[in-house]
Each structure stands twice: as structure tokens, then as C-alpha cells.
Structure 1
């Protein structure tokens, strides 16, 4: 099996890891270019840098065009880069300047001379409303997110391994 799902250390998140035959610099170039997410994600089919941002840096902003679970209406969601460690970690928050709903990210670890282990993860903010939602729907939502993260990583891997 090339991927592995692991429950996040908090009960409000999750992650999926996959080994790719691509060096960390190649993986970084892909995961930190939000304009390419539509090629890979089953829910976010496009994204663009906003407010003068042109690339990955802490504080850079972008909007993602989302169709939740791949069905229903579409909407734009504002995002802000909150961790940007080239070749290692790219993480962004989803929500407004005042209210963060969740955080998504990628960790990259070198694996041999030509490979990387790439982990996509999410972590919800522990507000009362989010805790209540997660208590009711968390198990199903985690499974859906893990399925989507596997699909995203598999699609990224296919591009990187061409």
C-alpha cells in the first residue's frame, strides 16, 4: 500500500501520507502552487492568489473555488498561508480574518535519493460549533476527507512521477 491514513493527534482532524517518487523540491513546487489545486482536489476545482499575493509566503492570501463533496453549489472560500517552510511544510487556514474554520497543509519528508513522503492533513478549529458538528458528523466527514486527501495525493503523484 502506497498511502497510509492516520488520525490527527487531536480528534478534530486527520491526515493521509503517501510515498512519491519525487524529490522534496519537486513536491514543494507542486503543493505550494495553489493555482494548480484544481488538477488534484476532488472538492476545490480552482484557486487564485488574492490581495496582491503571488506565491507562497506566510500571510499570503488566496481563494479556493469549492464544491463540497463534489456536489451541490459552488462557493469561494478565503484562505491565508500560516506556515511556509520551503521543502518541508505548506499550511493554510480557511476562513475570514476574524474566524478560522479549519487548516489544511502538506508535510514533505525526504525518502531516499529520489523520493518523498508527502502528508496531507486537516485540523479544525476547536470552537463550540465545530466541536458539536464534529461530534455529530465527524466520523463520516473524516472518512470523506481521507478519501479526498488520498485522491489528491494520488493525482499529484501521477503528475510528479511522469
Structure 2
């Protein structure tokens, strides 16, 4: 796969299985995520497994929007990845979490690849009020990882 458009990593003093539980608990994602305020599983599958679908609710200031997502990888304690689309059909991004055991916890890497075409870059920038998505995602990934660390280590 190509280089991500944004990524960051952090060491967290919690087992990778605990981190995986947190990042796949869609109802609670908003407790530590910088942009996603929550999500809801769609269809019969209500957990992370390849092919499972969910709607994500997002915000940037007063702007609000939803995304449609399909899980592409789900290995408890190791990897969670999903493909994001607008309106369920227009490519937006691929998001991936990788968890690697280390010391008394794990290294958590969070990354994204912008898969939008020209039309979605313009429309997405207007809808979300984010003209430079790569920079914005880089900042938010670092904020999300810091908040996830605080959340996981105090539990």
C-alpha cells in the first residue's frame, strides 16, 4: 500500500486487546476521537469483522456529517481497518489502526489514505469546512491518540 496521507503512533500502557475493544466500540468512540463522535453498526453484523458496515457521525465545529464504512480488516488486538464512503458510494478514505505489543502495553499506529477524487475533494472540503484534509487529519490523529492513551490508561 502507498504511504498514508496522515499517520501517527503512540505508546499506551494498556494491552492491545483493550485498545482494540475501545477503537471498535462505535457507541463510545466520541469519548476520545477528535472528529468522529460515534457510530452505529448496520445490518445483521454488530461487531468488527471484514465486510461489516457502519455509519460514522462526525463533526468539525458546527459542521456535522455522516460516513458509510465497510470493515476491511479486523484482527482483535492487532488490526482494525475500514473503507469510508460518502453517501455509501463515493470514495473518501481508508482508515487503519495497527496495534503492536510492547513493554507494559502496546504501540498504537493510526493512519489514513485519502481516496477521494477531484469532485469529492471539493465537495468534502465544503461540507466539512476542511480544505486541507491531510493536515487536518494529521492533527486530529495525534489528538485522538493522546486522548485514547489517557482514556485507556486511567481505566
TM-score norm. by structure 2 comes to 0.82
Paired with 1:76 and 1:140, the residues of 2 have a C-alpha distance of 19
1:152 correspondence with 2:144: yes
Residue aligned with 1:158, SS: helix
Contact 1:53 1:62 in 2 (8 A): no
> What value does the CA root-mean-square deviation take over the aligned residues?
2.5
Give, in angstroms, the shift of residue 51 of structure 1.
Answer: 1.6
1:27 correspondence with 2:15: no
Q: Kindly tell me: are residues 132 and 75 of structure 1, through their superposed partners in 2, closer, same or farther at Cα, counting changes over 3 Å?
A: closer
Q: What residue in structure 1 maps to residue 80 of structure 2?
A: 90
Give, in angstroms, the shift of residue 131 of structure 1.
Answer: 7.9
Q: What residue in structure 2 maps to residue 102 of structure 1?
A: 93
Provide structure 1 residue ranges, at least 5 long, that are not aligned to the other structure: 1-7
Q: Kindly tell me: are residues 102 and 109 of structure 1, through their superposed partners in 2, closer, same or farther at Cα, counting changes over 3 Å?
A: same
| Residue among 139, 142, 162 paired with 2:134 | 142
TM-score norm. by structure 1 comes to 0.79
| Residue among 38, 42, 45 paired with 2:37 | 45
Aligned positions, number: 147
Q: Kindly tell me: are residues 74 and 139 of structure 1, through their superposed partners in 2, closer, same or farther at Cα, counting changes over 3 Å?
A: closer
Contact 1:124 1:130 in 2 (8 A): no
Paired with 2:131 and 2:109, the residues of 1 have a C-alpha distance of 20
Q: Kindly tell me: are residues 71 and 82 of structure 1, through their superposed partners in 2, closer, same or farther at Cα, counting changes over 3 Å?
A: same
